[in-house]
Amino acid sequence: MKTPARAKRSAVGKVTLNDVAERVGVSAITISRALRTPEKVSEVLRQRIDEAVQELGYRPNYAARALASARSHTVVVLVPSLSNEVFVDTLSGIYETLHPRGYQVLIGNSRYSKEEEERLLSAYLTHNPDGILVTGFEHTAEVERLLANAGCPVVYMMEMDEQGQRPCVGFSQYECGLAMTNYLLQRGYQRIGFMAVQGDSRVLKRWQGYQDSLKQADRYDPRREYYVPDSSSVGLGAELLAQMLEQAPDLDAVFCCNDDLAQGALFYCQRHGIRVPEQLAIVGFNDLAASAWTVPSLTSIATPRYAIGKRAAELFLQLAEGQTPEQTAFDLGFELVARESA
């Protein structure tokens, strides 16, 4: 019913700082201060202001704040997938670190597409983020250019920077591949295959580790490698194992580039009466939650994704505060979890 004289273009007649100021009888800036730096406002005033804010239901306008302060309090996070426990866990670590510090997290899901990543980044840059957290070092030239000119700290996640220049938190994917394959060799497996999908740089590095391990043991045979660019899934693991067994029937172990695949491979064996690990050993990667419960349980590599998210966020915070951390590259390691399947 009331027609506020002031509001000319005001979107929905939302309560502004000025409304609160009028109500309390002070200037707008004082309200602003009371909200952001309460200690700089007198006790009495602060109390009256808090009340007025409550009564009027004042809610600061994000856009106005971002515009006036030239700080968005926003951190952009670029991940290749959300349907993967790994990145959801990473996001948890990021969120739990950044949220208490007053940052909004803008999630960009590129679906393993570099082009989509480019679009996302380009769009999100209009937000003038205070920081950007990206997955991996493999991007389009344009993305690299955008990141370089973003004017805010950029932290790379999941892998280590080989040039050692850029801030990053991750672990050596190559070492993972090496360690797991060495483990299989050590357990006496002789004809070890590798099942790869997606083909992102992290998978390729694990694969490289696998190859180097076998070559060193003089057991490498390209016929036992299987790669398709499709996105990972349990079903795909089952299908690919069928194909691998056809191509290399003498396989005695498969290293699946991730646990989804490994679970699918295991189910395939269950269905076809192939005993695991007696006839065929199966190992995965990432140690997804279900892998401890399958029968047999899956040997895998546990990756510190939550910790990566957390540390990456912390690193961003340091960088954003203008600190010069002595360390900007964090290798958080990994753990080989030996279970029943190999």
d(CA 187, CA 233): 27
Q: What are the C-alpha distances in Å from 86 to residues 2, 92, 190, 207, 305?
A: 52, 10, 30, 19, 6
320 touches 73 (CB < 8 A): no
**Nearest Cα to 166, choosing from 178, 179, 154, 175?**
154
Q: Which does residue 95 touch among DNA, a second copy, none (CB within 5 to 8 A, set by kind)? A: a second copy
Residue 65 beta carbon to DNA: minimum distance, rounded to whole angstroms: 4
289 counts as binding a second copy under rule CB under 8 A: yes
Q: 25 vs 229, which CB is nearer to DNA?
A: 25
Region near DNA per CB under 7 A, out of 8-16, 94-102, 172-180, 199-207? 8-16
Q: Which of 5, 23, 32, 221 binds DNA (CB under 7 A)?
A: 32
- 195 near DNA, rule: CB under 7 A: no
Q: Does 26 bind DNA (CB under 7 A)?
A: yes
Characterize 99-109 residue by residue with b for buried, 16 or more Cβ atoms within 10 angstroms of its Cβ, and e for exposed. Answer: eeeebbbbbbb
Residue 83 and residue 256: Cα distance in Å, rounded?
18
The b/e string for 303-341 (b: 16+ C-beta within 10 A; e otherwise) is bbbbbbbbbbbbbbbbbbeeeeeeebebebebeebebeb
Q: How far apart are CA 36 and CA 203, in angstroms?
A: 46
Q: H-helix or E-strand containing 123? A: helix 114-125
Does residue 125 belong to the site contacting DNA (CB under 7 A)? no
- Nearer to a second copy by Cβ, of 225 and 260: the residue is 260
128 binds a second copy (CB under 8 A): yes
Rounded Cα–Cα distance for residues 259 and 257 (Å): 7
148 near a second copy (CB under 8 A): no
In degrees and rounded to multiples of 5, residue 170 shows phi and psi of -175, -145
Query: Using the rule CB under 7 A, is 127 a contact of DNA?
Result: no
Residue from 35, 217, 248, 307 in contact with DNA (CB under 7 A): 35
End-to-end alpha carbon distance in the chain = 73
Q: Per CB under 7 A, which of residues 59..88 are in contact with DNA?
A: 60-61, 64-65, 67-71
Size of residue set near a second copy by CB under 8 A: 52
Residues ≥6 apart with Cβ < 8 Å to 286? 85, 86, 258, 259, 300, 301, 302, 303
Residue 44 makes contact with a second copy by CB under 8 A: no
Instruction: Find which of a second copy, DNA, none residue 17 binds, CB within 5 to 8 Å per kind.
Output: DNA
Residue ranges in 43-62 that form contacts with DNA under rule CB under 7 A: 44-45, 58, 60-61
Region of 33-41, 82-90, 175-183, 321-329 interacting with a second copy (CB under 8 A) = 82-90
Half-sphere exposure of 260 (CA within 13 A, CB side): 16
User: For the chain, how are helix, strand and coil distributed in percent, rounded to 5?
Assistant: 45, 15, 40
- Per-residue contact track with a second copy, 3 to 32, x per CB under 8 A? ------xxxx-x------------------
Q: Which stretch binds DNA (CB under 7 A): 23-31, 82-90, 144-152, 191-199?
A: 23-31
Q: Residue length, the chain?
A: 342
State the Cα–Cα distance between residues 99 and 87, nearest whole angstrom.
17
For DNA, which is the closer residue by CB, 131 or 304?
Answer: 131
Site for a second copy, rule CB under 8 A: 9-12, 14, 57, 59-67, 70-72, 82-83, 85, 88-89, 91, 95, 104, 106-107, 109, 122-123, 125-128, 149, 151, 233-235, 238, 263-264, 267, 270-271, 289-290, 292-295
Site for DNA, rule CB under 7 A: 6-11, 14, 16-18, 26-30, 32-33, 35-36, 39-42, 44-45, 58, 60-61, 64-65, 67-71
